[in-house]
Structure 1
Amino acid sequence: MKKHLKRFRVRTVTAVVAMAFAANAWAVDPFTVRDIRIEGLQRVEPGTVFASLPFRVGEQYNDEKGSAAIRALFALGLFKDVRLEVSGDVLVVIVEERPTVADVEFVGIKEFDKDTLRKALREIGLTEGRPYDQALADRAEQELKRQYINRSLYAAEVVTTVTPIERNRVNLSFTVSEGDPAKIKEIHIVGAKTFSENTLKGLFDLDTGGWLSWYTKSDRYSRTKLNGDLETLRSYYLNRGFLEFRIDSTQVAISPNKQDISITVNITEGERYVVQAVKLEGNYLGKDEEFKSLVKIRAGEPYNAEQVTDTTKAFIDYFGNFGYAFAQVEPRPEVDRVNNRVVLTLVADPSRRAYVRRVNVSGNNRTRDEVIRREFRQFEASWYDGDKIKLSRDRVDRLGFFKEVNVETVDVPGAPDQVDLNISVVEKPTGSLQLGAGFSSAEKLGISAAVKQENAFGSGNYFGLEINTSKYNRTLVLNTVNPYFTPDGISRAFDIYHRMSKPYDDQGGNYSLSTSGVGLRFGVPFTETDTVYFGSSIERTAINPGTSIPAAYLEYAQRFGYASYSIPLAVGWARDDRDSTLAPTSGKYQRVSGEWGLLGDARYLRANLQYQQYIPLTRRFTLALNGELGLGKGLSGRPFPVFKNFYSGGLGSVRGFEQGTLGPRDVTGATIGGARKLTLNAEVITPFPGAGNDRTLRLFGFVDAGNVYGEHEKFDMSTMRASVGLGLSWLSPVGPLRLAAAIPVRKFAGDRIQKVQFQIGTSF
C-alpha cells in the first residue's frame, strides 16, 4: 500500500472491535512518527491528549498502537469522537470534545432542597463546567426517582431535558411531577396470639395516620422505617421469653393509582421459655465472681434477649477495663422444648491484651482538635481501658457541640496487640438567638432576648449576651467562659452586668432598683462529674426613688443609703451525670452555691441549693423531679438586703402565677421577695401522642409548689402555692420551644395569675 493519505474513523466501541477483524482494509504500514498534530481542542489541554498517547515523536507507529491510542482517549470521557489521520510520516489526532454542562436546574421540586441535589450531582461528576455524560444524567434521573420512592411519592415522574447552547455547551434540566404521596391505609400482623394486634402495631413508628401525621409523616411508607419496626417487634417478643419467635414474611402492596399502601407482617410466636440456669464457661481471668455480679439474667424468669445482650456487653466492657479490647462473649442457649426451659451458657474468650496506638478525630470541621482531645481520658500509647474510653466519649458528648459522638476501635495491621481509636463527631449549631415571652393581665407581653455562642470560633469557649426588655425587669449581661483556662481543666468566667428591676405594683410607680457589676469566677474539676466554683465580684446597687416606691425599699435606703457597694465572695459545687442536657431521660443534676457579702456596705450570706432527678419509668415515660431551696441572712446586725431577695412564680418556679409575684408584700401591697425560697416541681414527660417515639416533640404534665418567705419567717407548708398543668416541649426547626398552661390549685387572695407561658429560640 502506498504512503499517500490514508484515514480511518472510529465512532463507537463497536467500530473499534470491528477494526480488529478488518485489519487488512484499515491497515497502515508501520512508520516512524516525525510529528504529531492535534486538531479540534476547545477546552482540553493538549498535554492531556499527549499524555494518553502510547507513542511519541521519533517512535514507530503501527495499527496496534493506533487502536490503543483511540481507546485511551475515549477512556478520558472528554471526547465524543476521535479520529487518527496519517499524512506521510505525520500523525494527526482529530477530536470532537463532549459539550460541557453550563447549568443544572430543577423544576417542580418541593420535597427536596435544590442545593442539596446539586451537591449530590456534583459528587458524581455532573455539574457546571464538567463534560456532559448521558450515562451520568440517566443515573441521576434514576437516583432522583429512587429518592422519591423512599418518601412514598411513587407517582413521581422525572423528565431530563438537554438543551444545546453556544460554545459547545448544554443546559441540563430535571423536571419533576411529584404527585401526591402514597399513604399507609392498612397494617396487619398475622399470627399474633399472645398479644393483641393493636398492642403490636402500637410499637411501630409507621401507622395509618392521625391528626399529627402532617408533622411526623408516620403514614408514609419507608423501607428503612419498616425494617426498624420489624426489629422492634422482634425485640418485643424476644424480651418476653419467645426465644424462637420469627417473622415469616412481609408483604407491601400498593394500589394501582399508587396512592394507598397495605402492609402485612406474618409471624410465628413459638413457645415462651423460662430461664432455668445461667452458667459461665471459658476464661474469665480468675474473676468469675466479679463477672457473675454483672449478670442481669435471672433464673425462673422468662428469657429476655435484652438482658442477654446487656450481660454480654457488660462482660465485654469489663474485659476492656483490663486491656482486652478484642474479648468475645458468646451466649449459647440449651433449649428444653418439652418443659419450655432454657439453660444459658456464657462462653468467654478474652483474646489478647492491647494498647492504644493512636487516637484519630474526624468530623470536626469547626471545632478544633484540642477541644475534643482534652476531654479524652484514654491516652495514646497506654493500655486499652474500656471505662476510660466510655468516659471520654461521654465527656465529649457533654460538651453540647455535637449531634453524634462515636468511638470505633480499629485493629492495626501487622500489630496484633495494638488498636487505633477513631472518634467521629457530627457538629451542630452552637450559637443561639433566644426569644422569650410571657402573657399576663398586667404586662400583656414581655420580651426577652439572648445571643449565645457555646463554641466561639471552635475554641470551646462560651460567649453570651442577654437582654431583657420587660416592663419590670430589664437586663444587660455580657459573659464569657474559658473551660480550659489552665491545661488541668480549671475554667474561668468573666461577667459584666447591669440589671434594673422593680417588684410588681398596680400603680405603675417609676421607682427602680439597679445593680451594676463585674465578676470573675473559676471552676475546679475534682472528679469527672464534680466541679467546685469560686470567685468574686464588685457590685453597685442603687435604689432609685420615685412614685409608689415600696415601703421596705424606702426604709432600707433611709437606714443604709440609696447606693450600696459590695464585694461578695462566691463559692459553689455542681455535679451533673444526666444523659443529655437538652432532653434528659436519666441521671441527676445537683448544685450548691453560696455568696458572702464580706466587704462593702451590704453584709449578708446567701445560699441556693438545687436537686434534679430524671427517672425512666418506661420506654416512653420519664419522671422529672426538681427541688430548689434558697436561704439568706443579714450579718453585722443588718437585715438581709432587700435587693438580694429571692423571687418565685412563673417559668422556672411555680407556673400559673405571674413572674416573681409570690412571697411577702409591704404595706403598699408591692411584692418585695424574701430571704427564703422553696420550690418543688414534678413532671411526667412522654412523646407527644401521634408523634410515635419522636422525643423532639414531647408532652408533659406537671405539679408545682413553692413560695417565698421573709428573713425571720419559718417555712410554712400551709402557705405554699401550688399549680397543675400541661406543657409542650418541641425541638422545632427554629429552635427549642416550651409552652405551659397551668391552673393554680392553691392560691390566696391577692395572688396574680398567669396561666399561659412560652419560650422559643432559634439556632444559627
Structure 2
Amino acid sequence: MKINPVFRVLVWSFLAVKSVWAADSFIVDDIQVRGLQRISAGTVYNYLPVSIGENFTEEKQAAAIRALFNTGFFKDISLEKQGNTLVVIVEERPSVAKISIEGNKDIKKDDLNEALKKIGLTEGKVYNKQILDKVEQEMRRQYFSHGKYGMKIKTEVSELSRNRVGIRIEISEGKVAKIKQINIVGNQAFPNSVLRKEFELSTTNFLSFYSKDDQYSKQKLSADLEKLRSYYLDRGYINFSIESTQVDITADKKEIYITINVKEGDIYKLEKVKLTGELIVPPEELVKLVKVGPGEIFSRKNATETSKAISDRLGNEGYTFANVNMVPEINESQKSVAMTFFVDPGKRVYVRRINVKGNTKTRDEVIRREMRQMESSWAAGNKIERSKSRLDRLGFFEEVGLETPQVVGAADQIDVNYTVKEKASGNLQAGVGYSQVQGIIFNANISQDNIFGTGKRVDLGFNNSSIMTRYNLGFNDPYYTLDGISLGYNLGYATRNAYAANLASYNTTIANGSMNFGIPLNEFNRLGFDLEAKHTQISSTSLSSTQIINYIKENGSTFNTFSTSAGWTHDTLDRPTFSHKGGQQRISGLITVPGSDLDLFKISYKHQHFFPISNDFTFRLLGEVSHGGNYGKTSVYPFFENYYAGGTGDVRGFMQNTMGPRDSYNRPFGGSTKAVGKAELFFPVPLLSDLKSVRVGAFLDGGSLANNFNLSGSNSLDHFFRYSAGLSGEWLSPFGALAVSIAHPLNPQPNDLTQAFQFTFGSGF
C-alpha cells in the first residue's frame, strides 16, 4: 500500500513530539518560531491553537501539528520544549517565482494563466508538488475543448535562490481532431441529411475554418441533441428518445466519429385544446394567442409559444409572475393528446421605484420623460421594455441594461433598474478629409445631440470641397412641450458645382431658413410639419447642356420659394443605428405656397423593415418611391430639383448620382421620379462577433430614375432599372460613421459609370 507522504510526515512529527515529553504537560511561558524565511511569525501564531499561559498537553500537540500542516505553507514541522518555552521549528514550502508557458498557439497565454490561477497555481503562491497533476488535467481540458486531443504537456520545476522555484510548462498542441462522421441510427421518418442540418456540429466543409463546426465539443453535442429532440417533439413524436450516444476518436487522435441511437415512436395529434384557470383578461383575447388546435399534429414549440404569449399578455396587466402550465393528457391507444393550458396569474405586481444609474452627463429628467412605466402603478412588461427601447433610441447611450428585482419582504412589488453607459453625443471637428465624390474636404463642425445633458441638439458647421461650400446652423428641442411636441430651426447657405458631383454642368447658390414641428400621435406614430423660405440662384457654364441653357432663358435664374411640408412617420425600430428588429414607414409631401416663383410639389414614401433571424443575423428590406411635379404657372418641373441615384445611398456599384436620364452632353441629369429597393443580410464580422460597433452585410440593390414618368422615350420600365449585388461593411467609429461596399452591377447599360469599391465617412446609416 502506498502511503501519502503528508500522512507519513504527520505521523512522524506526532511521534517525535510525543517522545520529547511523553508523560508531562507544561504551562507555556513563551513561544518561539524558527526556520521562517518568507512567512511572518504572526501568521504562525494566528494558526497555532495554543497561547502563552495555557497548559500544553498531548492533545494540543497533535492539534498544533494538524493546524500548521493544513495551512499548506510548510513541508516539515517539529515541536520542541526548552524549559517552559514551546519551540516551533518549520521548513517552508518554496514559493512559485515564475511560470513560463511555451508552445501554445491556439489558446492565449493569458487564458491559460487564468485557468492555472483557478486551480491554485500562480506566481507568488506556495508551491505544492501535487498541484502539477492538476495542471496537466486542466491543460488537457482546455485543449480538448478546442478539439486538440493529441496535445502533449511536459512540466519542469527548477529550484531558485531564497527557497523559490520556477515552473516551465512545455506544450505540444498537435492538430485539431476533425469530425469525420455523424451517424444517426434508428431514424425512419427523417433522413440523416435532414436531421444533421439542425446540428451546430458538422463534418468538415468550406466554412469550417471560420465556424469551427467540425471541432467536437461536449457542450455543443449536448445542445445538438436537444435540437434533435425538439425537432421530433415539434412534429408530433411525443415518445421520441435518444437511447445512447457514442463518441469515438481514432488512435492518431485526428478524427472523431459520433453515433446517436434514437427511438422515434409514433405521431400524436391534438384531440382538444382547453384554456382554464383564472384568466384575468377576456377569454377571447387569450384564445387569439393560442397557436395550437384540434386535429393538428402536436408541436411542443407551438405549445410553448402559446404559454409564453399568454404569460406575456398577463404580464402587461401587472401579473409579472404569472404561470401558464401545459398539462397534456396522452391517449396511447388513439395516439392523441388533450392539451390544457392552466393559467395561474398569481398576485398583481406593482413598481415601487424606477432607478437609473450611469448617467453622469444626461439629466435625470431627460431619461425619465422616456419612461412609459410609472412608479406606484402595476408593472406592465410591454411598458417596461418599451421604456428601455426608447432609451436605446435616444442615441445618447452605448448600452442600456434592465433589471426587475423583487422587493425584499414584498411579494407584490418590484423595482425597475435601468443602467446606462453614456457615449460621446457631441462632435467637434476641424480638419481636412477626403470623399470619393467630393474629393478633398475642408470642414469645421460642432454638433451636440445632448447639449448640457438636456437632450437638445445644436449644429454649427462649415464645409468646403470641390463640389460644395456650405454653412449651417441648426437647433432642435425634442420636448418643446411636456407632451413631446418638438421644435426646430435651421439656417443654411450653400454653393454647389453640379459638374464636380458627376452631374450636368451648372452652379447653384441656395440660402434657406426653416422651422419645423413634430407632434406625437401615439407611441409609434408622429406627424411632422415644416415651413421653409428658400432663395435659389442657378448659373450655366461653358459646358452646360441645351436643356439647362433653354430653361434659364425661358424661366430665369433666380427663384424665391416658400413651401410647407407635412409627413407621417410610423417607427417601431428597436434602436436608431444597427437596428435588429422593427420597421419604419414615412410618407411626406411638400408644396410651394402662393407668392413663390415656382409652383411645385414633392411626395415620397419610404418603408424599411428589419427581421431578426438570430441574435447576430438581421435581414432588412427597404423600398422607397419619390416623385416631383409642377402645377399652376410653372410649366416645367425645375431640373435642379431632380432626384439622383447611384452610389452608397441607393444603388451601390454605380458611380454616385450617375444613373438615369442624361442631357444633350450625355451627362447625368436626374429625374423627377425615383424608385429604390434594397434587400440586405447583416451579420457580425468574422472573429469579431463581440464588437457591437461593426457589422458586415450581403446585399441586392435596385433602382430607377425617370422624367415625369416618361423614361427618355422608352416604354420599358425594366430597361432602366439597375441592379447590383455585393458586400458591405459599417463601423460606428469614434470619429464618425464609416460605410464601405464592394458591389458588382448586374445589368449596366452602355452609358452607365460603374464603381466597384465605394465608401462614405461621417454620415448615418
TM-score category, normalised to shorter length: 0.7 to 0.9
Q: What is aligned with 1:461?
A: 425
- In 2, the alpha carbon distance for the partners of 1:143 and 1:382 equals 52
Instruction: State the percentage of identical aligned residues.
Output: 35
Counterpart pick for 2:621 among 619, 622, 625: 625
Q: Deviations over 1:358-386 (max 9, x none)?
A: 77899x89999979985765566653332
Counterpart pick for 2:221 among 200, 223, 226: 226
Q: Secondary structure at the match of 2:258?
A: strand
Asked whether the 8 Å contact 1:535–1:571 carries over to 2, the reply is no
Q: What is aligned with 1:540?
A: 493
Q: What is aligned with 2:703?
A: 705
Instruction: For 1:316, give the aligned amino acid.
Output: S
Matched, 1:68 2:58: no
Q: Secondary structure at the match of 1:267?
A: strand
Higher alpha-carbon deviation: 214-223 or 630-639: 630-639
- In 2, the alpha carbon distance for the partners of 1:402 and 1:111 equals 36
Check 1:128–1:543 CA distance in 2 against 1; reply closer, same or farther (3 A cut).
same
Check 1:535–1:667 CA distance in 2 against 1; reply closer, same or farther (3 A cut).
farther
Aligned pairs for 1:445-484 (under 5 A) are 458-459=422-423, 461=425, 463=427, 467-470=433-436, 472-475=438-441, 476=443, 478=445, 480-482=447-449
Asked whether the 8 Å contact 1:82–1:93 carries over to 2, the reply is yes
Matched, 1:743 2:745: yes
| Structure 1 residue 648: Cα displacement | 1.6
Counterpart pick for 1:348 among 343, 348, 355: 343
| Structure 1 residue 540: Cα displacement | 3.1
| Structure 1 residue 303: Cα displacement | 1.4
Check 1:732–1:173 CA distance in 2 against 1; reply closer, same or farther (3 A cut).
farther
Aligned pairs for 1:154-173 (under 5 A) are 154-173=149-168
Asked whether the 8 Å contact 1:739–1:759 carries over to 2, the reply is no
* Structure 1 residues not aligned, in runs of 5+: 1-9, 426-454, 503-512
| Structure 1 residue 343: Cα displacement | 1.6
Q: What is aligned with 2:645?
A: 648
- In 1, the alpha carbon distance for the partners of 2:68 and 2:315 equals 55
- In 2, the alpha carbon distance for the partners of 1:569 and 1:499 equals 29
Q: Secondary structure at the match of 1:194?
A: coil
TM-score scaled by length of structure 1: 0.75
| Structure 1 residue 305: Cα displacement | 1.2
- In 1, the alpha carbon distance for the partners of 2:505 and 2:755 equals 26
Asked whether the 8 Å contact 1:327–1:348 carries over to 2, the reply is yes
Check 1:387–1:545 CA distance in 2 against 1; reply closer, same or farther (3 A cut).
closer
TM-score scaled by length of structure 2: 0.75
Check 1:622–1:380 CA distance in 2 against 1; reply closer, same or farther (3 A cut).
closer
Check 1:565–1:260 CA distance in 2 against 1; reply closer, same or farther (3 A cut).
farther
Q: What is aligned with 1:192?
A: 187
Aligned pairs for 1:746-757 (under 5 A) are 747=749, 749-755=750-756
Q: Secondary structure at the match of 1:679?
A: strand
Q: Deviations over 1:707-747 (max 9, x none)?
A: 27599999998567323344346799999986543334373
Q: Deviations over 1:372-414 (max 9, x none)?
A: 9857655666533322333345456667899998766655565
- In 2, the alpha carbon distance for the partners of 1:298 and 1:652 equals 47
- In 1, the alpha carbon distance for the partners of 2:440 and 2:417 equals 48
Matched, 1:283 2:278: yes
Higher alpha-carbon deviation: 325-334 or 477-486: 477-486
Check 1:273–1:395 CA distance in 2 against 1; reply closer, same or farther (3 A cut).
farther
- In 1, the alpha carbon distance for the partners of 2:681 and 2:251 equals 42
Counterpart pick for 1:16 among 1, 5, 10: 10
Aligned pairs for 1:293-308 (under 5 A) are 293-308=288-303
Q: What is aligned with 2:726?
A: 727
Q: Secondary structure at the match of 1:657?
A: coil
Q: Secondary structure at the match of 2:72?
A: coil
Q: Deviations over 1:428-487 (max 9, x none)?
A: xxxxxxxxxxxxxxxxxxxxxxxxxxx6xx356354869434364444474644459667
| Structure 1 residue 205: Cα displacement | 1.8
Counterpart pick for 2:470 among 479, 499, 515: 515
Aligned pairs for 1:409-428 (under 5 A) are 414-419=409-414
Q: What is aligned with 1:438?
A: none
Q: Secondary structure at the match of 1:146?
A: helix
Instruction: For 1:542, give the aligned amino acid.
Output: T
- In 1, the alpha carbon distance for the partners of 2:124 and 2:16 equals 39
Instruction: For 2:463, give the aligned amino acid.
Output: H
Instruction: For 1:27, give the aligned amino acid.
Output: W
Check 1:167–1:368 CA distance in 2 against 1; reply closer, same or farther (3 A cut).
farther
Higher alpha-carbon deviation: 18-27 or 231-240: 18-27
Q: What is aligned with 1:612?
A: 608
Aligned pairs for 1:61-460 (under 5 A) are 61-285=56-280, 287-356=282-351, 377-378=372-373, 382-392=377-387, 394-395=389-390, 414-419=409-414, 458-459=422-423
- In 1, the alpha carbon distance for the partners of 2:618 and 2:499 equals 49
Q: What is aligned with 1:553?
A: 507
Q: Secondary structure at the match of 1:36?
A: strand
When the two structures are aligned, how many residues end up with a matched partner? Answer: 700
| Structure 1 residue 646: Cα displacement | 4.4
| Structure 1 residue 556: Cα displacement | 1.2
Check 1:35–1:198 CA distance in 2 against 1; reply closer, same or farther (3 A cut).
same
Q: Secondary structure at the match of 2:411?
A: strand
Higher alpha-carbon deviation: 706-715 or 312-321: 706-715
- In 2, the alpha carbon distance for the partners of 1:733 and 1:13 equals 63
Instruction: For 1:239, give the aligned amino acid.
Output: D
- In 2, the alpha carbon distance for the partners of 1:565 and 1:497 equals 24
Q: Deviations over 1:668-695 (max 9, x none)?
A: 5444656x4523214274989x99x999
| Structure 1 residue 243: Cα displacement | 2.3
Check 1:137–1:461 CA distance in 2 against 1; reply closer, same or farther (3 A cut).
farther
| Structure 1 residue 616: Cα displacement | 7.2
Asked whether the 8 Å contact 1:632–1:711 carries over to 2, the reply is no
Check 1:701–1:360 CA distance in 2 against 1; reply closer, same or farther (3 A cut).
same
Q: Secondary structure at the match of 1:556?
A: strand
- In 2, the alpha carbon distance for the partners of 1:569 and 1:659 equals 29
Check 1:499–1:83 CA distance in 2 against 1; reply closer, same or farther (3 A cut).
farther
- In 2, the alpha carbon distance for the partners of 1:737 and 1:360 equals 37
Q: Secondary structure at the match of 1:318?
A: helix
Higher alpha-carbon deviation: 76-85 or 636-645: 636-645
Q: Secondary structure at the match of 1:745?
A: coil
Asked whether the 8 Å contact 1:531–1:573 carries over to 2, the reply is no
Check 1:225–1:12 CA distance in 2 against 1; reply closer, same or farther (3 A cut).
closer
| Structure 1 residue 332: Cα displacement | 1.4
Check 1:612–1:62 CA distance in 2 against 1; reply closer, same or farther (3 A cut).
same
- In 1, the alpha carbon distance for the partners of 2:157 and 2:359 equals 37
Check 1:303–1:294 CA distance in 2 against 1; reply closer, same or farther (3 A cut).
same
Q: Deviations over 1:18-71 (max 9, x none)?
A: 666787534363333333333333333333233223333344433433433333
Asked whether the 8 Å contact 1:468–1:474 carries over to 2, the reply is yes
Q: Deviations over 1:111-156 (max 9, x none)?
A: 1122233334345543333333344443343222112111111111
- In 1, the alpha carbon distance for the partners of 2:327 and 2:423 equals 49
Q: Deviations over 1:156-183 (max 9, x none)?
A: 1122222222232222222111101111
